[in-house]
Amino acid sequence: MSSNRAVAYNGHGVDVVDIDYPTFELKDGPGVNPANVGRPVRHGVILKTVSTNICGSDQHMVRGRTTAPEGLVLGHEITGEVVEVGPDVEFIKVGDLVSVPFNIACGRCRNCKERKTGICLNVNPDRPGSAYGYVDMGGWVGGQAEYVLVPYADWNLLKFPDKDQAMEKILDLTMLSDIFPTGFHGCVTAGVGVGSTVYIAGAGPVGLAAAAGAQLLGAAVVIVGDLNEDRLAAARAFGCETVDVSQGDPKDQIEQILGVPEVDCGVDAVGFEARGHGSGAGTEAPATVLNSLMEITAAGGAMGIPGLYVTGDPGGVDDAAKRGALSLDLGTGWAKSLSFTTGQCPVMKYHRGLMMAILHDRVQIAKAVNATPISLEEAPQGYADFDKGAAKKYVLDPHGVIKR
């Protein structure tokens, strides 16, 4: 049996530790719901991880901003090679190179059948929706590891048609597990289309992926706002306009770009650790982005909200924020007849189409997010650098197979 090294939350950061090699049964461990312990996974496969990315959602846990338990193995952005298949797997074969949606979905429940795979009803006893290596998501072991178990493999996995071609584009294709579909979903739900003007709050990897997605959807102008100049420069590098929100209200800078202080479509790629704008730029104010988007999105428009909001935040700025209750200017949204969409992106709704766009050179998502491969053992430093605002998307390479 092979060894298995993995990245685990230690209560104040991450360590690279030895964990059990996966089997076709969900074992007890940090974060595993007791109702899931012993759950057979005959429909699953074991992957040798080819790439697994550090995500901003992981950072929320590592900063102590969730109720994640110590010892939780992290990682929900997974691409890998199948090395073993369960007895109930019919179509996925050993040797296949596959992308794993970060949502775990059964393919059998009402929501899965309606393509709402982000809120599968059967994989998490706590609530609808599940993910690998994430707090309150059922306890499925994370994929920042050398090997990982993937359930419901025939349903969940996206097989790449040509392994050699896929490895040549692996830094692009690794983004299909989460951030590219997530950013794209934010744009789709915001109504982005040909000729749209779009404001994306946040120039982290999801925000930059959303910007690339908006361009793919035909937006006329894509404006990205952030506090971090290096990340804003990354957005400008592929044709976006930018707004430095530390310099004041985004609407004033948007007016300088468009001639009007509003956009057709708004996307929140920041989430619950948002900072204030202008003079309040250094202070956490979790409702800032949502309220700003309601102000600058044109009447009758829509807001896509792929940014993460939680129901439990020990580090929240007040008692309300600690339970995910924010002071929203809903009256503005109501008066302007705005619509908004929240929640996990249903990755399976988008990942094949985005794969084809990558394989046929319609988009260069790795370049847009500055994909940077590092070894599994370098994960603690990658987490630290990303937390400091590095304008990079760190891609862990557990087996040293990605070309530098």
Whole-number Å distance between alpha carbons of 171 and 358? 10
3 state DSSP class of 257: helix
Question: Residue 1's pLDDT is what?
Answer: 54
| Integer angstrom CA distances of residue 200 from 215, 238, 259, 260, 329 | 12, 14, 18, 16, 19
Question: Residue 307's pLDDT is what?
Answer: 95
CATH number, span 5-178+346-396:
3.90.180.10
Question: Residue 305's pLDDT is what?
Answer: 97
Provide the H-helix boundaries in 202-249: 205-216, 229-236
Would you kindly state where each structural domain of the chain is located, as residue ranges? 5-178+346-396, 180-341
Question: Residue 2's pLDDT is what?
Answer: 74
Q: What is the DSSP letter of 362?
A: S
Question: Residue 248's pLDDT is what?
Answer: 87
Whole-number Å distance between alpha carbons of 43 and 160? 20
Q: Which CATH number fits domain 180-341: 3.30.360.10, 3.40.50.720, 3.30.70.100, 3.40.50.2020?
A: 3.40.50.720
For the chain (404 residues), the mean pLDDT of every run of 10, in chain order, is 90 96 95 93 98 96 93 98 98 98 98 97 95 94 98 98 97 98 98 98 97 98 97 98 94 97 98 87 89 97 95 89 91 96 96 98 98 98 96 98 91
Contacts of 201 (CB under 8 A, 6+ apart): 207, 225, 226, 250, 266, 267, 268, 269, 270, 274, 289, 292, 293, 307
Question: Residue 312's pLDDT is what?
Answer: 86
**Residues 285/320, Cβ–Cβ less than 8 Å:** no
Q: What is the DSSP string of 68-113?
A: PPTTPBP---EEEEEEEE-TT--S--TT-EEEE-SB---S-SHHHH
